[in-house]
Structures are given as structure tokens and as C-alpha cells.
């Protein structure tokens, strides 16, 4: 295929060269001269995109240099990436491209950026967002051996543009990656949370290292190797579905105890304060949604399940009750039902229902509303909102 790359820096050049090595006809452009015997270097974007079937935009979205992590940054004001270069390049590429060509942005941006900032520039050609999961130093290998390939379209459907890109990647991939086709926003999300998932993981194991140093009698490798062998829950897909928050008699209290330990050992930081604060704020966000709906529809709130998990009588660490606490604070104290604790029942309920447990324990009137954080419940009788899916609801 005829492929173009705008941006031949640390990301673009290795990618362009590996595509050329796989047998494609590749042109490239950058604002500085680039020495390469694999890519046809062009001195203007117009020349780079001419007659190309797919054009990749691999320009930087830099932070202020003070934010690169080589010096302390936690005290600095949070800032978004700079998108000036992307704006400029997309406008110019669009000027010289047409509907027979596909423009593909691979630069890292925050969720919502493509829809808010970039698509307004794409009027003459077609567009896909396709961020890469690569590491500096191994870019060429990472490009053709990725964990997944993200392809973002306007509505998240597998459009002809998405399929064209998949077919292109079939010609260069050395592994057999899964192709994740979603909205622009979903792919932006996958990319940045992939990176920060790794940061969080490293931060957690290095906290174990600090505890070993401060506490004594601990080899951190013994701890991390044991945990890495826990393939049922930790190094697996378990708990990788958003829904109700962490609960039970162990997890919340362990996090609180580790806050105490971090203070006693004088670690100087506390990851678990952030974990518990996030747990509580997430519960409050859910409560605010319930209260908003209760006011909108003039309905009471019902918590469907108050045990910390279905089928047990234990309320210790119940996330549902934590959500209920915030509903009380917001002036809408909820009703509760849980067959393992209180059968309830009777006539059909008329309520805004939080489906804290995936099984609905009551009959509902047709004017009721179910808020389902598991995104599995469906009904032809009453309204169902799949909490966490702002693309659609059943």
C-alpha cells in the first residue's frame, strides 16, 4: 500500500521504517531533515500525503518540560498535553487530502480531545484515531507486536475505515493482536489508562519495597513473586469490570490499616489514602446520580441488595450501604431490600432502583427506573440506565 507518515521523530520514524520493511511504499515528512534510506523523505506535507492511501500523524503532544518526571512534579498544577502541533498538522493534511484517503492520528491525547478539538478540522478526508502502545527504544518491535490495536471511530462501529486499517495491520503484524474498535473517546481512554495502569502497578510494588526497607525481615521479591503467582484474582482479568466498589469485611479495613502503617513507618506517602478517598467519592457520584433521577421522576430510592455481595447476610464493608449513606446526606434516604437479610416484597415497587446485586429482587412498576452498574439488566417495561455506558442505555 501507499502509506504516509507525518512526523518522523522518536515514534514516527521507527514506525515508518518498519512499515517500509514490510514491503509498503512509505513517504514521510518532518519539520527537520531526517536521514533514512527506507522512507522517501518529503519536505512538505502536501508532497507527503499525495496519492497515499493511509496517512499516519505521529506528531508529539508534549507537556511543559518541567513535567517529564526527572524532577518532582506532584506539587505542580495539573496540565493537559499541548495540542498545537496536532491542530496545525491536521488542518494542513486535510487541505491536501480527499475522501479516497484515510487520515489516522496515533498521538496520545486525553479522553474527549478528538471529538472536542480535532474532528472540526477533518472536512475533506476520512479520519480514524489509532493510538499506539509503544515504549521508547523498542518502538519498531512494539508496533508490530502490540498487546492490542485500538481503532477509534465516531460511533464506535466497525466502519469501512476501521476495516481498511485492520487489513493494513494484517500485512505487518508479527503477533496476532486483538483489535479493539470503539469510539474515539473509548480509544483515548484505553491508551492513557493502559499507561497509568502500569504506573500504578509500579508504584504499588515499590511501596512494598519501601515497607521492606523500613520494617525489616522482608525480601520484597518474595512478596511480589508470591503475588504475581496469584493468577485467579491479581494477574488475571478478574475485577476488570467496573461496577459496585470494593466491599466486605477485609478489603476496606486492610486499606485503612495500611494507611496507619504508612504513617508509622514514615514512608512519606500513602497510596491507600487515595484508594479509600476514591472509593468514597465514587460512591458519592453514584448517589448523586440516584438522587438526580429520584427528583426528576419524583420517586423514592431503593437499594436492591445491601449485603457486601449477593447471597450472604454480611453487611460489613457494604458498598451499597455506603452509597445509601450519601443518598441520606443528599436528602433522599433510600429503602433497602435483600433476601439474605430482609425479604421485603409485597406489591410492585415504584422507585429508582440501584441494582447493587445483579439479580433484581422485586417487581417494579412501569414508571420505575433501574440504575444498573453491571450493565446487563434489560426490560421492556421500565427504564434501565446502564451506569458507566454513556454511549447507550437499554
Q: How confident is the model at residue 394 (pLDDT cuts 50, 70, 90)?
A: very low
pLDDT tens column, 119-160? 999 999 999 999 999 998 999 999 999 999 999 999 999 999
Give the position of cell 453514584.
286
Q: What is the pLDDT of residue 256?
A: 86
Q: What is the pLDDT of residue 30?
A: 98
Cβ-contact 61, 109 below 8 angstroms: yes
- Percent of residues, the chain, with pLDDT higher than 70: 98
What is the average pLDDT across 285-302? Answer: 98
**Residue 16 to residues 132, 209, 269, Cα–Cα distance (Å):** 13, 40, 42
pLDDT tens column, 179-197? 999 999 999 999 999 999 9
> Could you give the maximum distance between any two Cα atoms of the chain, in Å?
78
Cβ-contact 309, 358 below 8 angstroms: no
**Going by C-beta distance under 8 Å and a sequence separation of 6 or more, which residues neighbour residue 19?**
3, 5, 26, 172
CATH topology for 2-183?
Rossmann fold (3.40.50)
**Going by C-beta distance under 8 Å and a sequence separation of 6 or more, which residues neighbour residue 250?**
317
pLDDT tens column, 8-36? 999 999 999 999 999 999 999 999 999 99
Q: Does CATH number 3.40.50.720 belong to domain 276-386? A: yes
pLDDT, averaged across the chain: 94
Q: Where in the chain is the domain with CATH 3.40.50.720?
A: 2-183, 276-386
Neighbours of 389 (CB within 10 A): 13
pLDDT exceeds 70 at position 318: yes
pLDDT exceeds 50 at position 297: yes
Q: Which of 60-69, 130-139, 298-307, 341-350 has the lowest mean pLDDT?
A: 341-350
Neighbours of 4 (CB within 10 A): 30
Residue 337 to residue 99: CA distance in whole angstroms = 56
What is the average pLDDT across 341-347? Answer: 71
Q: What is the pLDDT of residue 60?
A: 94
What is the average pLDDT across 324-333? Answer: 97
What is the average pLDDT across 158-167? Answer: 97
User: pTM above 0.85?
Assistant: yes
- Percent of residues, the chain, with pLDDT higher than 90: 86
Cβ-contact 89, 107 below 8 angstroms: no
Q: What is the pLDDT of residue 288?
A: 98
Cβ-contact 181, 151 below 8 angstroms: yes
Angle, helix 184-215 to helix 220-228, in steps of 10 degrees: 140
**Going by C-beta distance under 8 Å and a sequence separation of 6 or more, which residues neighbour residue 59?**
6, 7, 9, 12, 85, 86, 89, 107
What is the average pLDDT across 226-243? Answer: 94
Give me the numbers of helices (H) and strands (E) for the chain, helices first please: 11, 13
**Residue 383 to residues 60, 350, 364, Cα–Cα distance (Å):** 44, 12, 10
Q: Which of 72-76, 143-147, 348-352 has the lowest mean pLDDT?
A: 72-76
Cell numbers representing residue 145 in the block: 507486536
**Residue 87 to residues 82, 185, 328, Cα–Cα distance (Å):** 10, 17, 47
Q: What is the pLDDT of residue 69?
A: 83
Amino acid at each position: 500500500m501507499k502509506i504516509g507518515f507525518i512526523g518522523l521523530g522518536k515514534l514516527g520514524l521507527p514506525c515508518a521504517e518498519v512499515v517500509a520493511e514490510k514491503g509498503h511504499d512509505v513517504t514521510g515528512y518532518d519539520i527537520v531533515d531526517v536521514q533514512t534510506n527506507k522512507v522517501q523523505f518529503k519536505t512538505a506535507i502536501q508532497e507527503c500525503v499525495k496519492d497515499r492511501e493511509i496517512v499516519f500523524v505521529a506528531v508529539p503532544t508534549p507537556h511543559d518540560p518541567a513535567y517529564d518526571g526527572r524532577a518532582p512534579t506532584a506539587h505542580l498544577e495539573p496540565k493537559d498535553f499541548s495540542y498545537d502541533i496536532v491542530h496545525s498538522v491536521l488542518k494542513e493534511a486535510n487541505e491536501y487530502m480527499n475522501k479516497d484517503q484515510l487520515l489516522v492520528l496515533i498521538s496520545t491525547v486525553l479522553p474527549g480531545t478528538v471529538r472536542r478539538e480535532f474532528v472540526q478540522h477533518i472536512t475533506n478526508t476520512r479520519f480514524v484515531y489509532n493510538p499506539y502502545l509503544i515504549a521508547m527504544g523498542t518502538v519498531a518491535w512494539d508496533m508490530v507486536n502490540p498487546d492490542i490495536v485500538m481503532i477509534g471511530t465516531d460511533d464506535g462501529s466497525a466502519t469501512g475505515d476501521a476495516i481498511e486499517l485492520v487489513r493494513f495491520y494484517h500485512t505487518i503484524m508479527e503477533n496476532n493482536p486483538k483489535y479493539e474498535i470503539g469510539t474515539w473517546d473509548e480509544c483515548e481512554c484505553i491508551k492513557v489508562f493502559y499507561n497509568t495502569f502500569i504506573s500504578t502497578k509500579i508504584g504499588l510494588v515499590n511501596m512494598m519495597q519501601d515497607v521492606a526497607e523500613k520494617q525489616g525481615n522482608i525480601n520484597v521479591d518474595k512478596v511480589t513473586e508470591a503475588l504475581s503467582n496469584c493468577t485467579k484474582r491479581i494477574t488475571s482479568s478478574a475485577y476488570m469490570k467496573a461496577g459496585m466498589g470494593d466491599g466486605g469485611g477485609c478489603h476496606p479495613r486492610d486499606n485503612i490499616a495500611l494507611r496507619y502503617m504508612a504513617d508509622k513507618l514514615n514512608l512519606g506517602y500513602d497510596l491507600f489514602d487515595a484508594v479509600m478517598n476514591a472509593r468514597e467519592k465514587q460512591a458519592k457520584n453514584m448517589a448523586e446520580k440516584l438522587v438526580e433521577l429520584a427528583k426528576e421522576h419524583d420517586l423514592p430510592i431503593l437499594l436492591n441488595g445491601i449485603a457486601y455481595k449477593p447471597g450472604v447476610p454480611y453487611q460489613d464493608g457494604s458498598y451499597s450501604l455506603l452509597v445509601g449513606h450519601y443518598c441520606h446526606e443528599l436528602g433522599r434516604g433510600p429503602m433497602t431490600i435483600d433476601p439474605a437479610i430482609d425479604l421485603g416484597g409485597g406489591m410492585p415497587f415504584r422507585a429508582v432502583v440501584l441494582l447493587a446485586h445483579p439479580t433484581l429482587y422485586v417487581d417494579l412498576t412501569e414508571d420505575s427506573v433501574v440504575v444498573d452498574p453491571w450493565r446487563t439488566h434489560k426490560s421492556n417495561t421500565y427504564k434501565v440506565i446502564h451506569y458507566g455506558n454513556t454511549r447507550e442505555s437499554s
